[in-house]
Structure 1
Amino acid sequence: MAFNGPINEGFPTPDEADRSTVSHVQKGFKISARKLPISKSGPIDEMSKKLDIPVPEMIFGDNMVSIEHVATGWRLEFNAFDALDKVDKTDKNMLKVAYSQEWSSSREKTHEGIKEVVKPFDWSYSTDYRGTITKGKEFQLQKNNEEPIPLELLKRPDPILFFEEVVLYESELDDNGISLFSCKLRVMPDRMLLLCRLFMRLDKVLVRIRDTRIYVDFNTGKVIRDYTEKEDGFDKVKKSLLFSGKLPNDLTVALRDPNQIAHLLPEVTRTLESLTLP
């Protein structure tokens, strides 16, 4: 990764942002993704001040994914700032572990642009962020979850016309685990699926996955948002991996891969919403 020029310079310029954005239009929907290098110190300090919390070590503040309905202008976006703005900024949901105070102190020294003492916040960077509607109508809660995402249609071997994976932020939690928020999307001829996932593993304490799935049926204009929270104790997850057939030597790799863990975690909550675009 190149670090040319002053480390606190603004980045990117509008032209650079446009050149770094890739888009695909399918049946009236424009799907876009932007991937740029890790943010520099100037934008990081500015973001920290606006959020009123230190940001993760690896913050991709200019990255984003979006879905836009061209005819109406309806637009849903996922970005790092809005995701972090949903992190609890009190000590209400802070994980109580032996090294939490030391971690907070180390973060205070990392961000010299923040002069005041670091306030309590959820330093695991867990967020229930489900995307930002920048224009158009909001999702409506489904009653009785009557219309889930049609998984059988997504399992069909349809050609993938557009695929992107974008990281918004990542923290190694002071070498005690990981907190990663990323988005992955795939577009087929008649439908698309966007998965934005928070994967948080705090070693010897907790494993947490929060998924937001956005399903779009291009032919009907139906958009479904499926949000789930799953979590379990760290030791319970290790036991579940062993019971599933993993060898002890494979546990370290498996605990770093949310795809190997997600189906083992009990569901804490689930919300289904939808809207239809003309």
Structure 2
Amino acid sequence: MNHATPPNEPFSSPSDLALAAATTSHTQNRFRISTRKLPISKSAAIDALEKKLGIPVPEMIFGDNLVSITHTPSNWTLSFNTQDALDAVDKTDKHMLRVAYARDWESTREETTQNIKEVVKPYDWSYSTAYAGSVADGGAAFAPTEKQIPIELLKRRDPILFFDEVVLYESELDDNGISLYSAKLRVHEKRMLLLCRLFMRLDNVLVRLRDTRIYVDFETDEVLREYTSKEASFNHVKNALRRTGRLPDDVTVALRDPNALDPFLNVVEHRIEAVSLAGQQ
């Protein structure tokens, strides 16, 4: 008989051996690229993480998932992990979004709303993190650069030696949309690209993408990091999709696809940085 473990059953964090067993690595030249995918965190791990962060976490959180890039001669490591991604979420009400019907609801419940604000610690419940990765302590820091990620080289049909997709967290925003932080990477013989993306759609309010692209040149040991934040109102995006001639059902499908929405968003922040690891031991 198969036994299903209750989702809320407390349990200890995975051991180092379990984490190592769940980690897949690929070595290319002087770099080791690793990914780890484990099931959704359970109650004990969630409680511990919420205590560390000081805010509630999304409904679907993969607390042990990981993507990391290590320059083996110097042990320089850039990683993307769930705790750091959520720790970069605004823990004040300065950037808090409200669902479309919130204003009408609050106008009829002013006293109740005030009581709620006094009890519940405010935070950006859309989980719109600006997280762009964690450099291990002591590692060389990124610095601004004029260099660009060579898109034309990445368009070439070079063999893919390693590929993976990892989700760090996901929320349905109380059935009002989606907030998803995920990573997708592909490794070629001479280069690799990692895309870490925050996709947030709050229905009838806002659509937001925050992309971090990591490009590694295996021949020069140089790493580029490009961060781009885009957003636009939900209605602007929906109307733009309609103007493309899509049928209503196709518009609904497109609203779940960040690649389909990207062309209709406005850039609100962009920066590119680099770090050279050549000769570092």
Aligned to 2:86: 84
Q: In structure 2, what is the Cα distance between the partners aligned to 1:204 and 1:64? A: 33
Q: In structure 1, what is the Cα distance between the partners aligned to 2:152 and 2:33? A: 23
Structure 2 unpaired stretches of 5+: 106-117
Aligned amino acid, residue 215 of structure 1:
Y
Aligned amino acid, residue 50 of structure 1:
K
Determine if contact 1:53/1:118 at 8 Å carries over to the other structure.
no
**Structure (1 or 2) with the larger CA radius of gyration:** 2
Aligned to 2:194: 194
Aligned amino acid, residue 7 of structure 1:
E
Cα offset for 1:45?
0.6
1:4 equivalent in alignment to 2:24:
no
Residues 227 and 48 of structure 1: CA distance in aligned 2, closer, same or farther (over 3 Å): same
After TM superposition, list the pairs within 5 Å mapping 1:1-278 onto structure 2.
Answer: 4=5, 7-97=9-99, 98-99=101-102, 117-135=119-137, 136-142=139-145, 146-278=146-278
Aligned amino acid, residue 134 of structure 2:
T
Determine if contact 1:182/1:198 at 8 Å carries over to the other structure.
yes
The sequence identity of aligned pairs, in percent, is 60
Report which stretch shifted further, 257-266 or 172-181.
257-266
Report which stretch shifted further, 68-77 or 255-264.
255-264
Structure 1 unpaired stretches of 5+: 103-115
Q: In structure 2, what is the Cα distance between the partners aligned to 1:54 and 1:85? A: 11
Aligned amino acid, residue 127 of structure 1:
T
Query: Which whole-Å deviations, capped at 9, do the CAs of 1:57-105 have from their partners, x for residues lacking one?
Result: 0000000000000000000000010000000000000013344999xxx
Aligned amino acid, residue 89 of structure 1:
K
Partner SS state of residue 251, structure 1: helix
Determine if contact 1:89/1:122 at 8 Å carries over to the other structure.
yes
TM-score with structure 1 setting the length: 0.90
Aligned amino acid, residue 55 of structure 1:
V
Cα offset for 1:117?
3.8
Q: In structure 1, what is the Cα distance between the partners aligned to 2:140 and 2:171? A: 33
RMSD: 1.8
Partner SS state of residue 250, structure 1: helix
Partner SS state of residue 261, structure 1: helix
Query: Which whole-Å deviations, capped at 9, do the CAs of 1:125-151 have from their partners, x for residues lacking one?
Result: 001000000141110012xxx211000
Residues 262 and 239 of structure 1: CA distance in aligned 2, closer, same or farther (over 3 Å): same
Determine if contact 1:30/1:67 at 8 Å carries over to the other structure.
yes
Aligned residues: 261
Q: In structure 1, what is the Cα distance between the partners aligned to 2:103 and 2:235? A: 19
Runs of 4+ in 1 over 3 A off after TM superposition: 96-102
Cα offset for 1:11?
2.8
Query: Which whole-Å deviations, capped at 9, do the CAs of 1:40-64 have from their partners, x for residues lacking one?
Result: 0001011001100000000000000
TM-score with structure 2 setting the length: 0.89
Determine if contact 1:11/1:39 at 8 Å carries over to the other structure.
no
Query: Which whole-Å deviations, capped at 9, do the CAs of 1:164-223 have from their partners, x for residues lacking one?
Result: 100000000000000000000000000000000000000000000000000000001111
Cα offset for 1:3?
5.1
Aligned amino acid, residue 38 of structure 1:
I
Determine if contact 1:194/1:215 at 8 Å carries over to the other structure.
yes
Report which stretch shifted further, 92-101 or 190-199.
92-101
